[in-house]
Chains A and B, each alone.
Chain A
């Protein structure tokens, strides 16, 4: 008898567990989040998507016609830095095994190009949140019927990234001219990596046009642990502005040694290591006055949506969001309002709605562009009033926003200043 009672209790418990684990709501909207999950970029993808899903589900889900649907995220490790084949398998799995409705993520262009084709085969909307190559959106213009399901979520394309860097150079050059009253001599220091080649070429052509003298080009190894030779040569060249193009650990080495040697020049450009919260400790405070492009900076607000997002993210994950965390934006401000507006999960209807929208996101305003022939490219608009990114500078242990601060993209363009901006500071040892 006792045995029978135990058997029944066990059966009832199992039934209860099964019943409780089945969601109380009906169908869910499945969103695949694909990225290199063992790397900081993939973690950003996942964290951003988790925040968006929780926010939507907390308010009851997405209104799809007459039905309320919750968001269900499916994590897919693309491993794309190490293996492109792996990335395509992960995408195929999302499409056919997990049967997701939409996909966000991707980082390495070569992998994203291959994944893009798979998503397009299944006519699933894929919002890219990492790769900056223009070619991804060019395909939409060239073959709209096939590639219309691709949208750029973040960042804006490589050409705009370069344009932003030059705007930063212009700000620093103007500060040197105004405060020191000396001509600007600019050195280009780019890590020896393929992605930097185009930027070096563009900088070589543009710097003289900006009225600066080009004092030389230096190409240290991306993983160099000593750059004193380059720094001595830069100092000898008389450069007072250094255009940095770093994505690897050399960014720390260069900033630290330049600070230790008190090289009389301000570093401006892209230094991915300087975008991280641990940069100050990594350079032992020697990275002071390093200026780099970034998407989010604590205390800087593009609009009223920025602060809640950045602070919530910081509270939840203990760090400032990187741009790949804009999966949050892609889901919350991109996909969901369009799903609700068309009242369906039909990709074609959502595409038609999404490509014509203009909407605010925590990093500015999204508008999808058309090419010269008027064909939609699903490329993000860059410039005043839209997406611009930020220029941040390390000032006495704090990463602060310094650009755009009374920035005018052209003489007739409106002036742009975001809330929380502070003036750019030149290293004090430049003034001696």
Chain B
């Protein structure tokens, strides 16, 4: 009892000292709480569906940001990893009867292998050339899918996949839990030593090489890591939809990921996640005006990019928080002095 009280006191101290000091951290904490508490407020299957799908796409968008945002390896064919994850999970589940807890990680492993295969020829390419080359890969895979209809189901895809859980709420918590864990891992990666090297490669690869760092290894690692997370998203999507079809490899899927990331803010991880949780429900919300749904979506994205070129979330963050010019610690915008070094903020 005493130990529990001590833990609670320590938890409160951490929350007060680390979370409540910054509005962005409060928002993230609220996001976690709202997602985890949603079934207590409403168990509407439509709402749950929208949140679950947004969670899957949030993993996908964040995985793109890890590769293209942080490492600067501009990937316009991210649907490849998503599609490989979806198809591999579907084939393992339907043809070999491997349950979802096995098929999803194995699908992600297949996506990692794909990341390696795609990454090697892409190492020599940069900028536009890299973007165009990566765009070709999902199209090639789609050709393979159509060429092997007995295995892949051709244009019909592979249907009849097993659900992760038959309970709406259990399913919800599994998807939300996986999303929160994976996105936190991605965020921690970008905050780690490896993440700093990823960032440095994007800024000046030559300088990183000159520092004795094997950039080839790190770039391949970025492809594999991104492939892993996108592959998990693909596997989860296939099991949720109960079908893995050619639409998972379509060019529009690749571009949607880029739109989410750019809208939310590149090289942030949380930006693309927030963007998915804004844009995906927005598309559902404007169903009352079906003829103009896509137009409304496009106008919203254009306006945001026009007035907030760095993305929505960095813009909001800069409005509510200030960075200390001396110690680089972030402070709430209303403060006059830094909360750590007491330097004047304005």
Chain A residues at the B interface, C-beta cutoff of 8 Å: 37-38, 75, 77, 79, 82-86, 88-90, 92-93, 95-97, 109-111, 113-114, 117, 133, 135, 139, 194-195, 197
Contacts and interface: CB of A to CB of B under 8 A. Distances in A.
Interface string B288-316: 00110100000000000000000000000
Nearest to A195: B155
A135 B241 contact: no
A165 B293 CA distance: 38
B290 A37 contact: yes
B192 interface: no
B46 A97 contact: yes
B155 A194 contact: yes
Interface in B157-190: 157, 159-160
A75 B290 contact: yes
Contact of B159 (A75, A97, A113, A195): A113
A96 B290 contact: no
Given A86-B283, A113-B157, A77 B241 contact: no
B15 interface: no
Contacts of A95: 45-46
B82 to A, nearest CB: 12
A-side interface mostly: helix
17 contacts: A38-B290, A77-B290, A79-B293, A89-B46, A89-B50, A92-B49, A93-B46, A93-B287, A95-B46, A109-B155, A110-B155, A110-B157, A110-B243, A110-B246, A114-B159, A133-B156, A139-B160
B211 interface: no
A77 B252 CA distance: 18
A157 to B, nearest CB: 13
Contacts of A85: 53, 241
Contacts of A75: 290
A92 B240 CA distance: 13
Contacts of B50: 89
Contact of A83 (B44, B159, B252): B252
B146 A194 contact: yes
B293 A77 contact: yes
Contacts of A114: 159, 241-243
A109 to B, nearest CB: 5
B287 A110 contact: no
A258 to B, nearest CB: 28
A313 to B, nearest CB: 22
Given A79-B293, A110-B247, 19 more contacts: A37-B290, A38-B290, A77-B287, A83-B252, A85-B241, A92-B45, A95-B46, A96-B44, A96-B45, A96-B46, A109-B155, A110-B243, A110-B245, A114-B159, A114-B241, A114-B243, A117-B159, A135-B159, A197-B154
B287 A90 contact: yes
Contacts, number: 71
B318 interface: no
Interface of B: 44-46, 49-50, 53, 146, 154-157, 159-160, 241-243, 245-247, 252, 283-284, 287, 290-291, 293
A133 B245 CA distance: 14
A38 B146 CA distance: 27
A197 B154 CA distance: 10
Contacts of A38: 290-291
A233 B157 CA distance: 36
A124 B157 CA distance: 24
A88 B246 CA distance: 15
Nearest to B253: A83
A197 B45 contact: no
A133 B156 CA distance: 8
A117 B324 CA distance: 54
A139 B155 CA distance: 17
A153 to B, nearest CB: 19
Nearest 9 Cβ contacts at the A-B interface: A110-B245, A77-B290, A84-B247, A96-B46, A113-B159, A194-B155, A96-B45, A194-B146, A114-B243
A133 B157 CA distance: 12
Nearest to A117: B242
A88 B50 CA distance: 10
Contact of B46 (A86, A92, A111, A133): A92
B100 to A, nearest CB: 15
Contact of B49 (A79, A89, A117, A194): A89
Contacts of A79: 293
A39 B160 CA distance: 28
A384 B46 CA distance: 44
A89 B284 contact: yes
Nearest to A109: B156
A202 to B, nearest CB: 14
B252 A82 contact: yes
A195 B155 CA distance: 8
A75 B247 CA distance: 24
Nearest to B244: A110
A139 B50 CA distance: 27
A97 B285 CA distance: 13
Contacts of A197: 146, 154
Contacts of B287: 77, 90, 93
B273 to A, nearest CB: 17
A151 to B, nearest CB: 18
A197 B147 CA distance: 10
Contacts of B247: 83-84, 110-111
Nearest to A116: B159
A247 to B, nearest CB: 13
A93 B246 CA distance: 24
Contacts of B53: 85, 89
